[in-house]
A and B are shown apart, each in its own frame.
Chain A
Amino acid sequence: AQRVTQPEKLLSVFKGAPVELKCNYSYSGSPELFWYVQYSRQRLQLLLRHISRESIKGFTADLNKGETSFHLKKPFAQEEDSAMYYCASYTGGFKTIFGAGTRLFVKA
């Protein structure tokens, strides 16, 4: 069965520190992986997707098929990065499954 695991419910870092939000997936095929973000009082929105290989707001994520991971990283966290982050897996059949989410809190 398709599953997405985010082991940390809460991650707290100081401004300027590196941050890594972990995501592991289980799926027998080749899913497409996404990171979605929800800032306070805003709707859930796409942050980045692995096929685009872009860096959005300083965040990057690399798909590691060997470890079935898609960790989200940023070298220097900013206060405005504080939000709820969800890893998601999209498979054939247009189905998207979400992880439980990690709340990132960046302290001044």
Chain B
Amino acid sequence: EAGVAQSPRYKIIEKRQSVAFWCNPISGHATLYWYQQILGQGPKLLIQFQNNGVVDDSQLPKDRFSAERLKGVDSTLKIQPAKLEDSAVYLCASSTTGELFFGEGSRLTVL
């Protein structure tokens, strides 16, 4: 069974630039999550999808972050414009029964 796929693995941008991350969850997993993990901290939930609908985006900085999950499968997380404090690993996870399956993450460095 293929795992959760994420790309790119690494991205370096300058502040005020934009970036997009892509996630392909495990086939059949209705729930998809984006987490932000800043160095030294635990994963922080940004947004949660159930199929293609948003369940929780209360922690998503909506002035600069956006996410979509078209057709209830792949998802894209975008940051525009990026700030220095957005430097983090962005983790995508999918789930059906409570156990989360994670991708390898996308490490963003904002200079």
Q: Does B61 contact A (CB under 8 A)?
A: no
Q: How many A-B residue pairs have CB under 8 A?
A: 55
B99 touches A94 (CB 8 A): no
From the candidates B45, B99, B105, name the one contacting A97 in the complex (CB within 8 A): B45
Binds A, one of B48-56, B62-70, B72-80: B48-56
- Bound form: Cα–Cα A99–B37 in Å: 11
- Bound form: Cα–Cα A98–B59 in Å: 14
B42 touches A94 (CB 8 A): no
Nearest A residue (CB) for B50:
A94
- Bound form: Cα–Cα A94–B3 in Å: 20
* Residue positions of B touching A, CB distance < 8 A: 3, 31, 33, 35, 40-45, 48, 50, 55-56, 91, 93, 95, 98-105
B43 touches A94 (CB 8 A): no
- Bound form: Cα–Cα A86–B102 in Å: 13
B100 touches A36 (CB 8 A): yes
Question: Which residues of chain A come closer than 8 Å to B91, judged between CB atoms?
Answer: 44
B99 touches A46 (CB 8 A): yes
Nearest B residue (CB) for A52:
B99
- Bound form: Cα–Cα A12–B105 in Å: 27
**A-B residue pairs, 4 tightest by C-beta:** A98-B42, A44-B102, A100-B42, A98-B43
Question: Which residues of chain B come closer than 8 Å to A99, judged between CB atoms?
Answer: 42
B102 touches A43 (CB 8 A): yes
